Structure 1
Amino acid sequence: MSTGNIFHGQSDSVWIAFALGMLKPLAALVIVVLAVLMSFFQKLDLEKEMIYSIFRAFVQLSIIGFVLEFIFQQNHVFYIFLAYIFMVLVAGYTAGKRAKHVPKGAYIAGASILAGTFLTMIMLVLLRVFPLTPRYAIPVTGMMVGSAMTVTGVTLKRLRDDLRLQQNQVETALALGATPRQATHKQVKRALVVALSPVLDNAKTVGLIALPGAMTGLIMGGASPLEAIQLQIVVMNFLVGASTFCSILSTYLSWPFFFTKTYQLETRVFIEE
């Protein structure tokens, strides 16, 4: 049998397996249909958004599935780097949209996510928590970048909103000789607490309310629950660490843009809601 026929046969088998595997997800669309009907009868006007969201998720996950299948077969560190950069770019853009009134918000978010998650990844690799292969590194990186994206976006938005509402307090502190960092200490602390609270609450209740995704996937895949909780503990540890690094770094990178060169509040940043 020629090499071309071998590859052609492998390609056909992949497509057949994919098509058969999609039967269950398609069957689960019944639940979405019920949700759309409920939205319609309750006049929520969310039907188009629901359908669009599910369709987009289907397309994105299908494409990513084939991409990961290719990357896992190549099993090269280079693809880990490419996937990581792509995720950071998307995460920075998304977090920047949440904090759209923060000057250079997308760049600040992207830099914070890049630095915080990279530091966490380096530590995990040096400690040999998992091998540096695409099958392990890409899913782990995705979870870290996703959590960091949410936390960073909330931090930047909340910091700007609090400074906008408390301009008089900040300006008074500046007039009394405080540095910009000292004058905004309370606002920075509040933004970090608000952004990190969901991550910490999730860590405190993990396993008591719901089984997290990584643990659930392993158990459904046939792994021992004891093996699953070991991985989940690792996941929770690096999520808390990466989220904290990224959120704190974003405040250090963003606060200079809230002030002029003469250490006064940049009022134009706080004009728009």
Structure 2
Amino acid sequence: MNLAVTNLSLTLVMGLVLIALWIGWHEQLGVDKDIIIGVIRAVIQLTVVGYVLKYVFRIDNLLLTLVLMLIIVFNAADNARKRSKGFEGAFWISFIAILTSTFVVLSVLVLSGSIKMTPSQIVPISGMVASNSMVAIGLCYRNMYAMFRDQRQQVLERLALGADIKNASRGILRETIRTGMSPTIDSSKTVGLVSLPGMMSGLIIAGVDPVKAIKYQIMVTFMLLATTSLASFIACYLAYKKYYNSRMQLIDLNGK
């Protein structure tokens, strides 16, 4: 099947953005500027990335591939950091969590023979892993901040009864990790029934046998479940300590 997405057709389809702009204007959501900026950035970034990937795929250099993967992880960590409410070391916590989850998942996929160590396969999968880790960590940060603020008294009571900061924060950690994993778990429950994921749909549109496309999508589902759970776990257990000072006292977030 040959796709015919010309510059003219793409420009005409871009008119669909007007629907989002109209809803934002009609409901006075204040998102008009963000939508316009988002669309412009998406077009520029995807165009640049398209030419970069074309070059990387053509020369097939391992070092350049690793550099591109690090750039992906770096940007994902930086975006996750923005959801942290500014606690110290948020970028490096995000970077470690995303890098670790990416390394573990890619290692399993390569060693199992599911994918090959080539730029055309490694780079897109790295992007999928890093982006889902980024979203999960962002959800964890927001939920952790809200729970430490709202459950301050309960945490103080546990500390007063002799619990260390890990045990005092146990309930918050469990709920926060669950929050980070929930979107991926919900998606896995409805995949194929409610949604036909992009990877599977793309392969089918490209003419790949639907059975093979489904196998790839199953692999992606397993991959994303591992990714979000690992990234959420690492980020939460590194980040919760930032809500305590050097004397292991809970920081007062209600004053912020």
How far is the alpha carbon of 1:159 from its aligned partner? 1.2
Partner SS for 1:28: helix
User: How far apart in 2 are the matches of 1:161 and 1:209?
Assistant: 31
Question: What is aligned with 1:108?
Answer: 93
Match of 1:249 among 215, 234, 240: 234
Question: What is aligned with 1:198?
Answer: 183
Question: What is aligned with 1:163?
Answer: 148
User: How far apart in 1 are the matches of 2:6 and 2:64?
Assistant: 26
How far is the alpha carbon of 1:47 from its aligned partner? 3.1
TM-score, normalisation: structure 2: 0.92
Matches within 5 A, 1:76-225: 76-225=61-210
User: How far apart in 2 are the matches of 1:177 and 1:229?
Assistant: 52
Q: CA RMSD in A?
A: 1.8
Moved more, 144-153 or 165-174: 165-174
Deviations 1:182-222 (A, max 9, x none): 11110111111112111100011001111101011101111
How far is the alpha carbon of 1:95 from its aligned partner? 0.5
How far is the alpha carbon of 1:44 from its aligned partner? 4.0
Moved more, 144-153 or 255-264: 255-264
Matches within 5 A, 1:9-48: 21-48=6-33
In 2, are the aligned partners of 1:102 and 1:160 still within 8 Å (CA)? no
- Percent identical residues: 29
User: How far apart in 1 are the matches of 2:138 and 2:37?
Assistant: 24
User: How far apart in 1 are the matches of 2:117 and 2:137?
Assistant: 26
Deviations 1:215-272 (A, max 9, x none): 11101111111111011011111111011111100111112222233322133x5632
Matched, 1:271 2:249: no
Report how many residues are paired.
253
TM-score, normalisation: structure 1: 0.87
Which stretches in structure 2 are left out of the alignment for 5+ residues? none
In 1, are the aligned partners of 2:84 and 2:142 still within 8 Å (CA)? yes
User: How far apart in 1 are the matches of 2:244 and 2:33?
Assistant: 42
How far is the alpha carbon of 1:158 from its aligned partner? 1.1
Deviations 1:40-66 (A, max 9, x none): 445444333322211111111111100
Q: Who wins on radius of gyration, i.e. which is larger?
A: 1
